[in-house]
Structure 1
Amino acid sequence: MNLALWIAAGLLALVALAGGVSKTFVPKAKLAKAHGGEWAGDAGTGFVKTPGILELLAAVGLVAPAALHIAPAMVPVTAVCWVLLMVGAIITHRRYDGQAKFVALNLSYLVLAAFIALGRS
């Protein structure tokens, strides 16, 4: 079980890192042109960068506390925060036609984060 939790946390951390880097450092106009990023065209810059920063923090919070044995209780807290972030992502993607696969992808990330939250608490 511990190995499965480490794998899940590592995979989710990579997803969070990739999403965080793109939302934080890629210009909003370029994100809006990408498939799945259409929502960024209708959002303010702060609305785009805030989830990006949260995803960068999640990438660290899903792995570092347990790996360093410093406040390992932060891992399930981070996973619960990721669940909430994915709820927002699902709501955002549902507003756009052709985004069903992104809704499903966000739902799978939500389930993975819930597994981590329950397993590490």
Structure 2
Amino acid sequence: MNIAYWIAAGPLALFYCYAGTLKATRSRDQLRPMMAWVDRIPLSALRALGTAEILGATGLVLPPLTGIAPSLASAAAIGFVLLQTGAIAMHLTDDDRRIALNAGLIATAAVTVWLATGL
């Protein structure tokens, strides 16, 4: 089960570390081609979202690696399920039906939650 956890959590952590770094460091103009919704939220909220994604990615990796508070990995994965649920809601309220990536991230995070309970 440990190998399965890393197969699910590793790419998820890499994705959120990358996406969070973009949101925390890039300007709206640089993000707009990738994320059309960036104009709908304040810049401070965008930066906070990026920071939360980086911290969540860290929460998926560090607790299982160190053995310190491994339940934090489940909490981080649950946070990503909730984050993507909100992202889907935001897309749908904007009449944007491109939610396949969000649905895939929810599925991967849900599997990660399940696998993290066995750590």
Query: Do the structures match in fold with TM over 0.5?
Result: yes
Matches of 2:56 and 2:14, distance apart in 1: 10
Amino acid at match of 1:61: G
Report Cα offsets for 1:38-70 as digits up to 9, x if no partner.
110222102211211110001100011001111
Moved over 6 A (4+): none
Matches of 1:50 and 1:94, distance apart in 2: 22
Deviation at 1:100, TM superposition (A): 3.0
Amino acid at match of 1:23: K
Greater Cα offset, 9-18 or 84-93: 84-93
Deviation at 1:18, TM superposition (A): 0.8
Q: CA RMSD in A?
A: 1.4
Gaps of 5+ in 2: none
Report Cα offsets for 1:15-36 as digits up to 9, x if no partner.
100110010000123212x14x
Q: Is residue 13 of structure 2 the alignment partner of residue 19 of structure 1?
A: no
1:60 equivalent among 33, 40, 58: 58
Q: Is residue 6 of structure 2 the alignment partner of residue 6 of structure 1?
A: yes
Report Cα offsets for 1:52-102 as digits up to 9, x if no partner.
1110001100011001111111100110011111111111222334x433x
Amino acid at match of 2:71: A
Aligned residues: 117
Q: TM-score normalized by structure 2?
A: 0.90
Q: Between the two proteins, what is the percent identity of the paired residues?
A: 34
